[in-house]
Homo-oligomer: A and B are copies of this chain.
């Protein structure tokens, strides 16, 4: 691949590594289809999740319902943007009958493939997901408005710097690393703050609700750590064009990673918050099943 790289770089400019692979080696049927399927699974999960969150709003006491509403907001925006991302994959590459592989499409309506749709989706989702937990837990020490503002500031900072960085993933490794590092600083601040919020939230609540909050912490930590992994995916198998992942394997691995992370950090996270809210509601005497029997 090396000989042609400079020529490719001229042709594609700042394009993502999905496009370099699609122009140079192309994708096997299996690799191409796996990405198409996993992207479709992603947006279908979001629309299905929307139904769940809307239909279960009244299962929790009124003061917890904003959490379900914000999960719904996240589902709508994620559904639309993941749908567009999926269409982007399908229009960016086309099957070449001679070669038996998928290559970058040419001509009419052929955009290059770009993960930026995901990043700008997160600009809505990340502040909402972080805000959402503040409607379920009760802060014992911190001020609600201070935590919210810190979440929003670092959430937006993390996304915007990561968004800029991903444009350089093939063409400028220095910029890619610098923007990624700045984004990571914001990410660590969010992790630290979330740990604090969950610690405060566990105080004085029933043990089973506190235990679900602990599960939410581990889910949050693991799911959100997948995103920097996906950012670095082209170089996970070694820096450079000969790295084990700078090929269709890396592309498939990245989209699978993104989808697992999206389902975990948006849908499962929202469901677990609803579970905590149901336990707290019951402890406060609000029981949807009994009330409506």
Contacts and interface: CB of A to CB of B under 8 A. Distances in A.
Interface of A: 10-15, 28-30, 32-34, 36-38, 40-41, 43-45, 47-52, 54-57, 61-63, 69, 72-74, 76-77, 80-81, 84, 90-91, 94-95, 97-98, 100-101, 104-112, 114, 116-117, 119-121, 123-124, 167, 286, 288-289, 291-293
Contacts of A10: 100
Given A48-B74, A48-B77, A94-B108, 12 more contacts: A10-B100, A12-B100, A14-B28, A34-B116, A37-B114, A40-B81, A41-B123, A48-B73, A61-B289, A62-B288, A62-B291, A62-B293
B13 A29 contact: yes
Closest 5 CB pairs of A and B: A13-B29, A44-B80, A62-B292, A48-B77, A41-B120
27 contacts: A12-B29, A13-B101, A14-B30, A29-B112, A33-B167, A37-B114, A37-B116, A37-B117, A37-B119, A40-B81, A40-B120, A44-B124, A47-B77, A48-B77, A51-B69, A51-B73, A61-B289, A61-B293, A62-B288, A62-B291, A62-B293, A90-B109, A91-B109, A94-B110, A105-B109, A108-B108, A286-B293
Nearest to A87: B90
Contact of A62 (B13, B95, B107, B289): B289
Contacts of A119: 37
Contacts of A15: 29
Contacts of A51: 50, 69, 72-73, 76
A49 B10 CA distance: 41
Nearest to A290: B62
B110 A95 contact: yes
B72 A120 contact: no
A34 B163 CA distance: 10
A48 B76 contact: yes
Contacts of A55: 54, 57, 69, 72
Residue of A50, A72, A84 with most partner-chain B CB within 10 A: A84
A14 B34 CA distance: 12
